[in-house]
Chains A and B, each alone.
Chain A
Amino acid sequence: MNSENESISFDVLIVGAGPAGLSAAIRLKQQAKKLQMNLSVCVLEKASEVGGHIISGAIIESRVLSELFPDWENLGAPLYTKVAQEFFLFLTQASYFKLPIPTQFSNNGNYIISLGKLCRWLALQAESLGVEIFPGFPAAKLLYSSDGSVKGVVTADMGLDKKNNQTDHYQQGIEIYAKQVIFAEGCRGSLSKQIINKYKLDNQSEDQVYGLGLKELWEVQESNFEEGEIFHTVGWPLPADVYGGSFLYQLENNIISIGLVVGLDYKNTWLSPYDLFQQFKSHPYIQKIIKGGKRISYGARTLSEGGFQSLPKLTFPGGMLIGDSAGFLNVPKLKGTHMAMQSGVVAADALIQHFKGNVNLANKEVIGYGKQIKENWMWDELYRARNIKPAFSLGLKTGLLYSAFDSYVLRGMGVWTLKHKHVYLQRKGKTKKSISPEYDGIITFERLSSVYLSNIHHIEDQPCHLQLKDATKAISINYKQYASPEERYCPAGVYKIVKQPNAEVRLQIDAQNCLHCKACDIKDPSQNINWVVPEGGSGPNYAMM
């Protein structure tokens, strides 16, 4: 057995080929070229191709794209549909009311896109600038130098069996070293999580809070299709004490994107975001649009909803956090892409300055990045949006009233900052059990037929990437005290309680259905589930999510 990993070095290593990581890579190469600097940049991506794990709404503000590529239109960037009409609705079970849209939330001039497609395009641009992108190679472990700084990462081993034994096809992960490692893993990054803990980056900030977004693409009948029309809703079917809302965006070629985002700080253990999403589609207003259409894709992903108050420190010796790994997301706008990209750009600029000024690189922390973000427009944008989500912890109506006041009157400049209250799941006895849903197979579907549309590839004979720190807690705590909430919040039905006659109740984990949404890593009541990267190329293959 070869116990020494192979190794390779780059100037900069970026973990994650999402909008944040790719923008950073592109900016680094563009700036290096201008300054005639030699700079090697490597990007690792766990999906088998760039975009395969990307899921978003997505409406984007194109300002950062224009900064990177002023002529993106001529270069063929996949932004085709401009927002033409916009509504904001309050839903009741059978009806709806239109609400006014605050000007700073208006989507006038924004584009409706597939973020996966945009990432593929960005990857092509990055490669033509000389960035080395490796899809199918997850960063699995962190490497530290003796001085405590981050030195690099190790990619995931391939070809281990369920019991961690090497098969004939075993390939040991390789060590990748870099002068700076940029973590761009998106929400709840598996390595970013360790980094934040190790360097106590969240010491000064409030707890991060999260939402789970579920999304489907539908090909609808031509007569129901209105290119460029978008709307967001609040209200039904979410209970009044659950933060969240839906979106419906009409792209091109009769394709619509429809989704529901549910705040993961809900208390009721019986709540099932997946079923709420299915139920949502049966609302008369939504049915009218999708009836007679065909569902073509399904996926889910968490997003960071803490905003301004929850931002961690962004730098540490040897690296930095960008994009949703750091929590850059404008929650009331449901937009993170422009911030992910902008944070990548600011980080890249700071890093170039750092490399220029530090020939021997004795100082391994790029503090300039943290400073420059505060001078950037995105800091101001996050600041203005900071009080909306916490206000909703007082209930939907108060939240709506507050946000109207905050947005129209104060324009986000109130002198106070509302806190996020950390909410825990309540035990099963305290909350009301909901009725099991029924699926009609036309508009609403059960989990497994949804997962089928995510095109998952996952070799079953590999170590389970959903690790229980203490296996007994799955029954003693999760099952006995909380009625196994993972059966409901997992959007892919990975966790199942199995009861067989004459056998003890046990938790079955169907890891091969995992969508890499990270909800279990967040929502487990005793934080007992640790999500780690599986073998490279595992997980969904989203085409245009």
Chain B
Amino acid sequence: MSSHRQIKEGSFHILGGDFANAGEASTSIKRELLEMGVEEDTIRRVSIATFEAEMNIIIYATAGIIRYTITPEEVIIIAEDMGPGIEDIELAMQEGYSTAPDWVREMGWGAGMGLPNMKKNSDVFKIDSVVGEGTRVDMIIKRRRNETEADQ
């Protein structure tokens, strides 16, 4: 039976300010996708979207959780945090808009490309936020398998 029939899920806790471990959740999910033999283009898009979501929890929130579900049809990523929330989501979605502090910008983060990158790389993108409570980003990346893989 093909590995594509399997469903895998899991979650990672992320701590605000934990730049030292930034990328651990995204890298683990990527490794899982590689092990399952998921096609390259899906892995590429999931990696970009998940890492940007992980970074936003680290940069802006107190703590958060990233949940993933891998099915034969799609990869679902949910990033939910306790944090300041986003006042104007439309503004936050604009490329180049960022409230990151100077020291974060010096690290090369805070270019205001995170949310646009997430949206670009997912087929379904949804963001909900309550100021003073937190933010939740739901992303679905549809798998576009090529013929040979689909036949397996």
A and B interact physically? no
